[in-house]
Structure 1
Amino acid sequence: MDESATQAPPPRIRVLLLDDDHFMLELLTDMLADLDGADSARAFEVRTESDARRALASLALDPPGLLICDLSMPDMDGIEFMQAAAAAGFGGGVMLLSGMDSGVRKAAERLARAHGLNVLGAFKKPISAAELQAALAPLRGLEALGHENLYNLSPLSEK
């Protein structure tokens, strides 16, 4: 029997999109679906949230492999959210999005890294499809390396 016929498809990367702008959530969801269309199997399982406190609660209950987070939100901004996510032990990948200037985005990226988060980058809103695809390439490349757990995207240990 052919081994490739019995192999299960690689697990999908679970993504949590956090943004208070519903249009941006729809845009990002569509962009991820378009990236799925380039693959033979769906690569992403997308969940959206517009409330940072609800998103934080869901991190503990159902942690994604990737968090795409806006920095400017009411009630709890993206920096506060990143601090809380790090304190809760979130181990997935993080992409930060903001319409703010590059200095603010870079500072937020450094702060998130200092808290131990696996930051894939801080991008200007709206992110282009090419930027999104490039930022996700390392995560999607894990499948080719035989990485079995795409829900915990911490660096692979050396053996």
Structure 2
Amino acid sequence: MDKPRLIAVDDELEMAAMIAEIAEMAGFESEVSSSAKALLDAEAECRHDVIVIDLFMPDTDGFELINALANRGCTATIIMVSGYDKTLLRGAGKIAKANGLNLLGTLTKPFRLDDVEALLRKAID
């Protein structure tokens, strides 16, 4: 059986790498990207079961990425991450769901490793 595939998209590569490492411990094949634009340009979202998105990145913010994924009919499970307030994450989550995306959950930075692991377990159940 193939491992589920995850990509963590965050302009802070250390954060993306940490999420990817947790995902690998949970049984995922994972990769990182510091650019939402690169993810979209390569149409890499089509190759992943789970996409972890930081809402604020310099090249393309998470809201633009959410809209682009929805326009492409993305079927990946989405986890959104932000260092901003939870109200913003809830609003982005509502937008993602309203656009037909499969939003699994949100994480506020700094987050606990247990919270990441719990979301990833839900993604593969």
Give me the TM-score of the superposition, normalised by structure 1.
0.73
Q: Which residue is equivalent to 1:27? A: 18
Shift of 1:48: 1.0
Shift of 1:127: 2.6
Residue from 114, 119, 137 that aligns with 2:121 = 137
Measure the CA separation in 2 of the matches of 1:80 and 1:61: 14
Matched, 1:15 2:15: no
Shift of 1:18: 0.4
Structure 2 unaligned blocks of 5 or more: none
Measure the CA separation in 1 of the matches of 2:70 and 2:46: 15
Q: Name the aligned partner's letter for residue 96 of structure 2.
A: A
Q: Name the aligned partner's letter for residue 13 of structure 1.
A: P
Q: Which residue is equivalent to 1:107? A: 91
Q: Name the aligned partner's letter for residue 32 of structure 1.
A: A
Q: Tell which structure's C-alpha radius of gyration is larger.
A: 1
Measure the CA separation in 2 of the matches of 1:75 and 1:108: 18
Shift of 1:60: 5.3
Shift of 1:27: 1.4
Structure 1 residue matching 2:42: 3-state secondary structure: helix
Q: Name the aligned partner's letter for residue 124 of structure 1.
A: T
Count of residue pairs the alignment pairs up? 125
Q: Which residue is equivalent to 2:101? A: 117
Is contact 1:60–1:88 with CA below 8 Å preserved after alignment? no
Matched, 1:83 2:67: yes
Structure 1 unaligned blocks of 5 or more: 1-9, 36-42, 142-159
Shift of 1:61: 7.3
Pick closer, same or farther for the CA change 1:61–1:133 going to 2, 3 Å: closer
Shift of 1:28: 1.1
Pick closer, same or farther for the CA change 1:90–1:134 going to 2, 3 Å: same
Give me the TM-score of the superposition, normalised by structure 2.
0.91
Pick closer, same or farther for the CA change 1:61–1:23 going to 2, 3 Å: closer
